[in-house]
Structure 1
Amino acid sequence: MPGFFIGRVKSLKYAVKGFFLLLTTENSIITQTAISLVFVGMGFYFKIDRVDWALQFLAMGLVLAIESLNTAVEKVCDFVHPDYHQKIGFIKDIASGAVTFAVLTAFLIGMLIYLPYFL
């Protein structure tokens, strides 16, 4: 049983390390985090309700999680095949497309929450 808990603690340590690596080294994550903070500020300014907060945090988490996975895919692709290759480019484009889905979803959620305040 102690091995199980030690394994979980090590996993958590690696996860926190990855979290901080993303926040400190990846421009796309830094940008998405800054945009998220703007929306948190807007949430306080407009005093959005609890459900809107939940939807907003879900949307922000979705974008950051998918962006993080996209970054991991790009890093693996660059490691496996550093030179340009058509199939690697296709894989990277697909991963980037997943980010686009997440961003569009977050945008629509943001519109549903904030558009009434601007109209």
Structure 2
Amino acid sequence: MAKESFVQNRLKSVVYALRGAWILVRTESSIKIQVVIAFVVILAGWYCEISATEWILQLLAIGLVMGVEGVNTAIEKLSDFVQPNHDPRIGRIKDISAGAVMICSLIASAIGCIIYLPKIF
């Protein structure tokens, strides 16, 4: 009986996670842009016939940026809930969270350049 309960709990967790991902993609313009960029980069990978290692790096970069963007959005929503009025401390928290997304995006862009620039030139 405990096994069924464990499996049911894991399935519920997956459903909640899928719902959260859907809410993120449906409501946040920054993640919509990232989904389009990811789609274009994936098409470029097929077109350029990148290696398995390049696919791994590309997919990790895409997942990292989109995952950190999701955490950034959650931090922003939580911050707005906790302190709906302007507060410089909350602003600093939001800036740090957005900075993390920027760092991941820059690294992902560098990975893209390392993979694709030699194939283009």
SS of the residue corresponding to residue 50 of structure 2 reads: coil
* In 1, Cα distance between equivalents of 2:23 and 2:48: 32
**1:86 CA drift (Å):** 0.3
Q: Report the equivalent of 1:107.
A: 109
- Residue equivalent to 1:118: 120
Moved >4 Å (runs of 4+): none
Give me the whole-angstrom Cα distance separating, in 1, the residues matched to 2:116 and 2:11: 40
Q: In 2, distance between residues paired with 1:23 and 1:91?
A: 23
Match 1:8 to one of 7, 10, 16 = 10
Tell me the matched-pair count.
119
Picking from 76, 79, 103, the partner of 1:77 is 79
Match of 1:58, SS state, is helix
Secondary structure of residue in 2 paired with 1:18: helix
CA distance in 2, matches of 1:40, 1:3: 38
| Cα shift at 1:79 | 0.6
Gaps of 5+ in 1: none
The alpha carbon displacement at 1:5 in A equals: 1.6
> Aligned equivalents of 1:8 and 1:40: distance in 2?
30
User: Over aligned residue pairs, what C-alpha RMSD do you find?
Assistant: 0.8
Shift of 1:49: 1.0
- CA deviations over 1:34-76 (Å, ceiling 9, x no partner): 1010101111111111111111000000000000000000000
Residue identity (%): 45
How does 1:1-119 map onto structure 2 within 5 Å? Answer: 1=2, 2-119=4-121
| 1: CA distance, partners of 2:36 / 2:70 | 15
What is the alpha-carbon distance in structure 2 between the residues aligned to residue 111 and residue 33 of structure 1? 18
What is the distance in 2 between the residues matched to 1:102 and 1:54?
Answer: 16
